[in-house]
Amino acid sequence: MANNHENILYFETEFDYPLIVKGKGIYLYDEDGKKYIDGCAGSISTSLGYGRKDMAEVLSKQAEEISFVHRHHVSSKICNEATDTLKECFPTMDKFFMVSGGTEATECATKLARLHWYHKGKPSKNKVIGRWMSYHGYTTDALAYGGNPGRRKEFSAILREDGHIIPPYCYRCWASKEPESCSFECAKALEDQILAQGPDTVAAFICETVVGTTMGCVTPPDGYYQKIREICDKYDVLMVLDEVMCGSGRCGTMMAIEQYGVVPDIVALAKSMGGGYFPIGCVACTKEAAKPIEDAGGFPVGHTWAGNPIASAVVKKTLEVIKEEQLLDNCTKQGDHLRKRLDELKDKYPFIGDVRGKGLMQAIELVKDKATKESYPRSEKIAEKVFKECMANGLIIMTSVNMDKGQKGDAIMMGTSFDVTTEEIDELVDILEKSLVKVFS
């Protein structure tokens, strides 16, 4: 453990973490000067390249002017300005509540849904139905409505069970359908679950619009979210989307759901909206979702750093940069290029079963047999081997494992900051190909 520090509780005790001392654009540099492409933007989190002077200036200027206020007593001008920018970027949403990360955002989103019904005089409507293989954060409630079997396992005894539905995983359909025979059984499962739980007990349904690490960029088919919206409306269930990873422009639109032509009631955002320069999260909702809570006197949820001035300044600047530098278009352009290069790898190699994703959030699923879609036994740790080989070759990617009902499956995910160039994507894919060939040879 050359770099590992004795006082840190590491994610993986046995892993020798490179010690990063500098970042520039999509590149990271360790203490020995080794250069890495950050091919997964941290954890599909940073939207602006590293080392930007304009972002550093915004941080330092705001810290000098006013670094902290508490929302119970005062408000700040910069928070108002950031919220105006949020409204411009997310025009279908009306009310915004800024927090410090993705888990806080999903927790606040589901609390907002529960409070909505509480103040409408229906306190029994407090269940949050989730979707298997969607991840919403690591707090107890987020793990409960979350559907990542691996992350829930150790805490299962303390997780509230409000029900989960099957995911829209077309590559290995849980309803045993093919695209030709599919009539959105996975979406209709929501109706069955609401009925079984009792519509009078269900406050909301939550899922990741495009699934992140739990499945490796699973992208539901067109029509899926229309069906989900219809079912939510039919039973007075609020539709809550987790766009912590896929939102804020990563898929080429400010919200990934825009590409499905559906407006949710509540959205949780984080990661990319802070550029990668400050911890940030945000709950956005329609005025109808917020109204009962506002009528009852306000949103009582705590969180000391909610609406923090520095976070607000960073969000405002990040969203401005995304607009000024036309980074949504670049996400689509470079995402298409990445996808094309990954599709070429799929045609060339027998171990790539599926390529999927939207914009700069793309994944490949690695299989033992392309024809039968058979996965490698998990004991072979294929995704981890690819990760380590890429790392040795100067590329950081993300692994996604056990997407096949929490039992098996290997995928790797890629997605850089939004200001990536075509040449940089080519460099990333070239290193990836070299690493894959080594692992599978």
Ligand X SMILES: Cc1ncc(COP(=O)(O)O)c(C=O)c1O
| Half-sphere CA count of 281, side-chain side, radius 13 A | 23
Is 110 one of the binding residues for ligand X (CB under 6 A)? no
Q: Rank residues 131 and 227 by Cβ distance to ligand X and give the closer one.
A: 131
Task: Compute the least distance from the CB of residue 111 to ligand X, in Å.
Answer: 15
Query: Could you give the string, one character per residue 115-134, with x where binding to ligand X holds by CB under 6 A and - elsewhere?
Result: --------------------
Q: Where are the beta strands (DSSP E) in 360-435?
A: 361-366, 395-396, 398-404, 408-414
Eight-class DSSP state of 395? E
Is 245 one of the binding residues for ligand X (CB under 6 A)? yes
Task: Compute the least distance from the CB of residue 411 to ligand X, in Å.
Answer: 14
Whole-number Å distance between alpha carbons of 180 and 321: 42
Is 242 one of the binding residues for ligand X (CB under 6 A)? yes
Task: Among 90, 97, 135, 260, indicate the residue that binds ligand X (CB under 6 A).
Answer: 135
Do residues 427 and 381 touch, judged by C-beta distance below 8 A?
no
Q: Which residue is nearest to ligand X (CB)?
A: 102
Q: Rank residues 247 and 427 by Cβ distance to ligand X and give the closer one.
A: 247
For CA atoms 306, 309, 311, 312, the dihedral sign is positive
Q: In whole angstroms, how large is the CA radius of gyration of the chain?
A: 21
Task: Compute the least distance from the CB of residue 5 to ligand X, in Å.
Answer: 22
Is 201 one of the binding residues for ligand X (CB under 6 A)? no
Q: Rank residues 46 and 435 by Cβ distance to ligand X and give the closer one.
A: 46
Q: Rank residues 167 and 367 by Cβ distance to ligand X and give the closer one.
A: 167
Residues 38-97 that bind ligand X (CB under 6 A): 43
Q: Rank residues 135 and 205 by Cβ distance to ligand X and give the closer one.
A: 135
Q: Rank residues 212 and 220 by Cβ distance to ligand X and give the closer one.
A: 212
337-346: Cβ within 8 A, 24+ apart: 337/422, 337/425, 338/362, 338/414, 338/425, 338/428, 338/429, 341/425, 341/426, 341/429, 342/414, 342/429, 345/429, 345/432, 345/433, 345/436
Whole-number Å distance between alpha carbons of 42 and 250: 13
Task: Compute the least distance from the CB of residue 251 to ligand X, in Å.
Answer: 12
Whole-number Å distance between alpha carbons of 199 and 210: 26
Task: Compute the least distance from the CB of residue 281 to ligand X, in Å.
Answer: 6
Task: Among 208, 265, 389, 410, indicate the residue that binds ligand X (CB under 6 A).
Answer: 208
Is 276 one of the binding residues for ligand X (CB under 6 A)? no
Do residues 169 and 176 touch, judged by C-beta distance below 8 A?
no
Task: Among 71, 111, 136, 317, indicate the residue that binds ligand X (CB under 6 A).
Answer: 136
Is 270 one of the binding residues for ligand X (CB under 6 A)? yes
Task: Compute the least distance from the CB of residue 227 to ligand X, in Å.
Answer: 21
Cα-Cα-Cα-Cα torsion 281, 282, 283, 285, nearest 10 degrees, comes to -150
Is 137 one of the binding residues for ligand X (CB under 6 A)? yes
Residues 212-241 that bind ligand X (CB under 6 A): 212-213
**CA neighbor of 420 nearest in space, from 314, 321, 338, 319:** 338
**Residue 428: phi, psi to the nearest 5?**
-60, -50
Q: Rank residues 137 and 163 by Cβ distance to ligand X and give the closer one.
A: 137
Whose tokens are 């993705």? That residue is: 102
Do residues 352 and 366 touch, judged by C-beta distance below 8 A?
yes
Neighbours of 342 (CB within 10 A): 20
Query: Could you give the string, one character per residue 10-49, with x where binding to ligand X holds by CB under 6 A and - elsewhere?
Result: ---------------------------------x------
Task: Compute the least distance from the CB of residue 409 to ligand X, in Å.
Answer: 18
Q: Rank residues 242 and 427 by Cβ distance to ligand X and give the closer one.
A: 242
Whole-number Å distance between alpha carbons of 79 and 307: 6
Task: Compute the least distance from the CB of residue 250 to ligand X, in Å.
Answer: 11
Task: Among 25, 101, 353, 409, indicate the residue that binds ligand X (CB under 6 A).
Answer: 101
Task: Compute the least distance from the CB of residue 229 to ligand X, in Å.
Answer: 20
For CA atoms 139, 145, 146, 149, the dihedral sign is positive
Chain contacts with ligand X (rule: CB under 6 A)? 43, 101-103, 106, 135-137, 208, 212-213, 242, 244-245, 270
